[in-house]
Amino acid sequence: MNAKPKSSRTTAKLLRVDPRAPKPETIGQAAAAIRGGGVVCFPTRCLYGLGADAFNAAAVERVFDIKQRPAELPLLVLINSPAQMDGLARGIPRVAHVLMQRFWPGRLTLVLEAEESLPARLTAGSGKIGIRLAAHPVTRALVEAVARPITGTSANISGGTGCRQISELDPQIRRQVDIILDGGPLKGGVGSTVVDVTGETPVVIREGELSKPEIMAVIKSV
């Protein structure tokens, strides 16, 4: 049974982490929190994110509550290897494999047909799931330690500005997450490019670190 952890904390546990070579014991604490249904703030390539077990419905609900995120907006997930797509996506098309080989890790989020067993809130009832192969060393280590996909949504109140360093983290989020992994200031920016490959023709939903021409050039080669 997935239950929301109860805590009397007024703020999250802050753990400093080497952004290039995170210590296993630090990552282990954060991974244990996620496996127990908790939510962890962690560094990604551009901004800090909120990580929870993508298969734990109650943990996913906590992420929505913390971010005050509208129910109609799905959450993307982060994986540590393409093998972790099992249980997340089904019917992965050839164009998706080509894009993964060309642009992963990082920079690209692929929207695929979701497995029906996923928490409904994760997909917002869309039948689709956004997946990205983690690129940041801390993120990769965290997903590996959890041994399950985790949510990768930005650590901000919905509609607000993303957090490039922990000093910018909204106090409401700081009070509600279980652990904060402080990997120092991040580069910021626009984040990953999002491409929906569920239809006959792939669609660039959001242009980010990869330009639409870069994506379309690869798609046309398939």
What CATH number has the domain bearing residue 78? Answer: 3.90.870.10
Q: Where are the beta strands (DSSP E) in 20-163?
A: 40-43, 48-51, 77-79, 108-113, 128-133, 150-151, 153-154
Domain count across the chain: 1
Average pLDDT by stretches of 10, the chain with 222 residues: 48 95 98 98 97 98 98 97 94 95 96 96 96 98 98 96 96 97 95 95 95 95 86
Q: Let me know if residue 2 belongs to a domain.
A: no
Q: Whole domain around residue 123: which residue ranges?
A: 13-221
Residue 222 has what pLDDT?
A: 83
Q: Let me know if residue 195 belongs to a domain.
A: yes
Residues in the chain: 222
Q: Let me know if residue 19 belongs to a domain.
A: yes
C-alpha–C-alpha distance, residues 76 and 127, integer Å:
13
